[in-house]
Amino acid sequence: EAEVAQSPRYKITEKSQAVAFWCDPISGHATLYWYRQILGQGPELLVQFQDESVVDDSQLPKDRFSAERLKGVDSTLKIQPAELGDSAMYLCASSSSRGSSYEQYFGPGTRLTVT
Amino acid sequence: AQSVAQPEDQVNVAEGNPLTVKCTYSVSGNPYLFWYVQYPNRGLQFLLKYITGDNLVKGSYGFEAEFNKSQTSFHLKKPSALVSDSALYFCAVRPLLMDTGRRALTFGSGTRLQVQP
């Protein structure tokens, strides 16, 4: 069964350092999402891509976060500089734009700890 | 703006007993509704969805959910709980019409289900 791949699974970094996360969606899924899940809360959207274009980045802290999906396949989320409050699980999800398939499929996540 | 409420932080049930995890939502227009399950240090796993049609939807692992439009609820149910069902459960909503192309889900805060042997 196809899965969303993410790496690394765990990342520990010091505040003010740069950190990057990678996501490879399910093959053929045109829509890709990055969510942030703070411990004890539900995931919240950071950015949504349709192919290589950003559809929604209204909740992305653009002063320190950036995301790209240059060829419309895999994606990278970057934080620079990292802050203590960025400690969270970063989840990537993908969905198909075709037919009646509305559910999103999630990767295993990257757990970020900022010290 | 849409929102989801999961009023119970934790639900405890004995193995073999029926379980219910509650969810209410607020959205403009007709909703798409979803349930996801999360095991420790893992991503979210899709359980079931309501898009249209029959108010009772069946999903993975014997779970089902009932859509109630008048009460704006979408409670998750299972007739007989297993210890392996112990996990964190999230309800999510998305409006039916999003002409901007936005498809992001709005999640509840989650309910931890603990099934005791």
Report CA-CA distances (Å) from B39 to A108, B36, B89: 10, 10, 9
A98 or A115: which carries more pLDDT confidence? A115
pLDDT bucket at B28, cuts 50 / 70 / 90 = confident
Mean pLDDT of B104-113: 95
Q: Write the pLDDT tens digit of every residue in B31-69.
A: 899 999 999 878 899 999 998 888 999 999 999 999 999
Find chain A residues with C-beta within 8 A of B42's C-beta.
Answer: 108-109
Residue B101 pLDDT exceeds 80 = no
Helix (H, G, I), strand (E, B) or coil at B85: helix
Q: Write the pLDDT tens digit of every residue in A11-63.
A: 999 999 999 999 999 999 999 999 999 988 999 999 999 999 999 999 999 99
Question: Which residue type is seen at A25?
Answer: P
CB pair distance less than 8 Å for B103 and A105:
no
Residue B97 pLDDT exceeds 70 = no
Instruction: Tell me the two tokens of residue B117.
Output: 């042997």
Q: Residue A79, exposed/middle/buried by CB under 10 A (0-12, 13-18, 19+)? A: buried
Is the bond preceding residue A8 a cis peptide, omega within 30 degrees?
A: yes
Report CA-CA distances (Å) from A64 to A22, A77, A82: 17, 11, 8
pLDDT value of residue B40: 84
Q: Write the pLDDT tens digit of every residue in A57-87.
A: 999 999 999 999 988 899 999 999 999 999 9
Q: Write the pLDDT tens digit of every residue in B68-94.
A: 999 999 999 999 999 999 999 999 998
Find chain B residues with C-beta within 8 A of A45's C-beta.
Answer: 104-105
Residue A99 pLDDT exceeds 70 = no
B30 or B58: which carries more pLDDT confidence? B58
CA distance A30 to A64: 26
pLDDT value of residue A101: 63
Interface of B with A in 10-49 (CB under 8 A): 32, 34, 36, 41-46, 49
Positive or negative torsion for Cα B58, A25, A22, B4: negative
Find chain B residues with C-beta within 8 A of A3's C-beta.
Answer: none
Instruction: Tell me the two tokens of residue B72.
Output: 């704006």
pLDDT value of residue A40: 87
DSSP state of B87: E
Residue A100 pLDDT exceeds 80 = no
Helix (H, G, I), strand (E, B) or coil at A82: coil
Question: Looking at the complex, does the CB of residue B69 fall below 8 Å from at least one CB of chain A?
Answer: no
